[in-house]
A and B are shown apart, each in its own frame.
Chain A
Amino acid sequence: MALNIGCAAKPGRARDNRTGSWRVFIPRFSREKCSKCGLCILICPEGCISEDEEGMPVPDYDYCKGCGVCADECPADAIEMELEEK
């Protein structure tokens, strides 16, 4: 994002701002353990987990803030939070 004078901008900045940079821990999804229940997709507070053709969860790391709710709730323990080095 180029700086606009006075930090002024048209609507839509929430899309342009990749809030994933706030993250400390990153969720890693195990395709082997995943039961495709879809719970993580439903409970993600950012709505940034979608599903592919096979029903597997696909996180959008541009917006995932690493809150860990998905990992906490996953019934199959298929999501692990990993410290992210930047």
Chain B
Amino acid sequence: MRKIMEGSHAVAEAVRLIRPGVISAYPITPQTHIVERLAEMVADGDLDADYITVESEFSALSACLGASAAGSRVYSATTSQGLAFMFEVLFNVAGMRQPVVMSIVNRALGAPLSIWNDHQDSVSCRDSGWFQLYAEDAQESMDLHFLAYRVAEDHDVLLPGFVCFDGFILSHTYEPVDMPTQEEIDAYLPPFVPVNVLDAKNPISMGMYATPDYYTEFRYDIDRAMDRAKDLLVTAGRELGESIGRDYSGLVEEYRLEDADTAFVAMGSLCGTVKDAIDEMRDSGIKAGLLKIRSYRPFPRAEIAKALSGVSRVAVLEKNVSLGSAMKGAVGPEVKDALWGSGIDVFSYVLGLGGRDVRKKDIAAINALSIAGKGDMFYGLREELI
């Protein structure tokens, strides 16, 4: 059924269809509308879940970790400072292999304080062992939650995951979304079957002490699970398409890349703007295309290399900055690595930080910069301020 919905409410509806047993979250802008709506659903009896109110994000994710270890399907949502506050628990959830799924409503990190959008929060959690999916619009924000639970809970994976979507740009805007039925989601996502369960009658410990003789192998295990998640994202994404009519089998998505000279690479809602800019550029004879990265972790190296093999240059649009790094953005070096030896130029452009709008003319300007061989830079700096 198609409805006009706020992005946050579409995500809350998706979570209701997923039937979590436990929800724990701490409200923080711009995530608030999701958890407020879920609290209402639980209070009204529309969602049969325990909603654990806590005093901080650290406690929220800790409660989720415990509930997951006890065998529940669990959900949380956060952003920015809240995600930073969860940092320690992120690694514990991944290390204990609990399939917690969390919405990250992307927002800049302070200081200076900013409530607006960029990708610094989730990108900074890159190495925590959580898979990370990025959504372009409200529909994808919703649908990726179904995919995330399916992949996370698979016994070949058992890893937690982020579903990332842009704060305000997607969370607080209204778009038409197509809502799957409860029957469709129940069939796609059967109840969670845990591998290890906390049970007083049959006690176990999780995430125990590993001496230097064992620690490396546990980290290796997580990395292998991430590789298997890459395969499963493809097959489970295809099956989701067969169920609800929208295919998510691509770890990356191409837009007008055939015969492109300049390929943009981007994640999240920015892709919509880039597609419009590409249409305009192509109308004026400039051959540009887009490669959207849906899965940042696991990183689709081979898929990126294949998709970009025919282009002349690549402009990676980064809503993050890896301070002190050579390329400035965090995604660019991995794209460059995927294309190593191809002779294709790869540049990073840091833009859209702290909620600064990215317009179609910015995309066209970056195309010109990349043709001139200028990149690995902050784009659009206000020179009068520096």
Contacts and interface: CB of A to CB of B under 8 A. Distances in A.
Interface of A: 1, 3-11, 13, 17, 19, 21-22
Interface in B176-199: 195-196
B370 to A, nearest CB: 44
B95 A7 contact: yes
Interface string B210-234: 1101100110010000000000000
B206 interface: yes
Given A6-B96, A8-B206, A21 B213 contact: yes
Contacts of B211: 17, 19, 21-22
A17 to B, nearest CB: 7
B205 interface: yes
Contacts of B210: 7
Contacts of B207: 6-8
A5 B96 CA distance: 7
Contacts of A9: 204-205, 208
7 contacts: A7-B206, A7-B208, A7-B210, A8-B196, A9-B204, A9-B205, A10-B204
B95 A6 contact: yes
**Dominant SS at the B interface?**
loop
B158 interface: yes
Q: Max chain B CB contacts within 10 Å: which of A4, A5, A17, A21?
A: A5
A11 B158 CA distance: 23
Contacts of A1: 214
Nearest to A3: B217
Given A11-B203, A11-B205, A17-B211, A6 B98 contact: yes
A6 B158 contact: yes
A8 B69 CA distance: 10
Contacts of A22: 211
B96 A8 contact: yes
B213 A6 contact: no
Nearest to A13: B208
Given A6-B206, A10-B204, 9 more contacts: A3-B218, A5-B195, A6-B95, A8-B96, A8-B206, A9-B204, A11-B204, A19-B211, A21-B211
Contacts of B336: none
Nearest to A11: B203
B9 interface: no
Contacts of B319: none
Contact of B196 (A6, A11, A19, A21): A6
| Leading 10 A-B pairs by shortest Cβ distance | A6-B97, A8-B196, A6-B96, A8-B206, A7-B208, A5-B97, A8-B204, A7-B207, A10-B204, A6-B206
Q: Max chain B CB contacts within 10 Å: which of A3, A4, A6, A8?
A: A6
Nearest to A22: B211
Nearest to B221: A3
A40 to B, nearest CB: 25
Contacts of A17: 211
A10 B201 CA distance: 11
B209 to A, nearest CB: 8
B203 A10 contact: yes
Interface string B309-332: 000000000000000000000000
A8 B202 CA distance: 12
Nearest to B213: A21
